[in-house]
Amino acid sequence: MSTEPKPPATANPYRDEIVISWPELHRDARYLSHVLHQLGEWKGIIAITRGGLVPAALVARELDIRLIDTVCVVSYGAAEGGGAEQRQGELRWLKTVSGDGAGWLLIDDLVDTGRTAKAVRETLPKAHFAALYAKPLGRPVVDTFVKEFKQEKWIYFPWDIDYQFVSPIKSRRGK
Ligand SMILES: O=P(O)(O)OC[C@H]1O[C@H](OP(=O)(O)OP(=O)(O)O)[C@H](O)[C@@H]1O
């Protein structure tokens, strides 16, 4: 019998959120690059679109990697708005790469339930999977990551957010 943790059964398992700033993401990508550099030479990077594109560019700069490819996978059936329901849809492939991934870095921003990472690993079993952030359900699927967040934490990446006015705490209703 499998002892693997199961995804939460509720429709929206995210009870908390965190906003990652550009400087924090950049710092974390530099740290990831340091770790990956220690592991040896890489043939190239395969970014998992779309979230893996920015960290892949930052790692490529640090490790002087010019050969960059993509695997393109989409969660269908998701509601609009970038919320937790994005984790529910069916996975569909738009593009993959040939070979078994040996010597290549697979890069994504986040391993959440691990569903995307598992699907990508099945097609490229010998690639090294690196992500900036991981949650407990996804952690077993990733080889290298920088920070772990609770499963219930929804992560807003810098490209998801904007600067805007926020009312002082004391003036807010329902405080
Ligand atoms: O571990 P999982 O539960 O599969 O979640 C992680 C995946 O979800 C995000 O992509 P998303 O589906 O939001 O698509 P996008 O990167 O194109 O916005 C993220 O970039 C990972 O690829």
pLDDT greater than 60 at residue 86: no
Pairwise CA distance, residues 150 & 166, whole Å:
26
The residue annotated as part of the active site, out of 112, 143, 160, 162, is: 112
Q: Output the pLDDT for position 85.
A: 47
The answer to whether residues 33 and 63 touch, using CB atoms and an 8 Å cutoff, is yes
Annotated catalytic residue 109: yes
Q: Output the pLDDT for position 3.
A: 56
Average pLDDT, the chain: 89
Residues across the chain: 175
Per DSSP, what are the bridge partners of residue 19? 156
- For 162, residues 6+ apart whose C-beta sits below 8 A from its C-beta are none
- Can you list the domains of the chain with their CATH numbers? 17-74+89-162 (3.40.50.2020)
Indicate the helix (H) or strand (E) that contains 128: strand 128-134
Q: Output the pLDDT for position 101.
A: 98
Higher-pLDDT residue of 6 and 64 is: 64
> pTM here?
0.86
Q: Output the pLDDT for position 90.
A: 85
ipTM associated with this complex:
0.97
Residue 116 Cα to ligand 1 middle (Å):
7
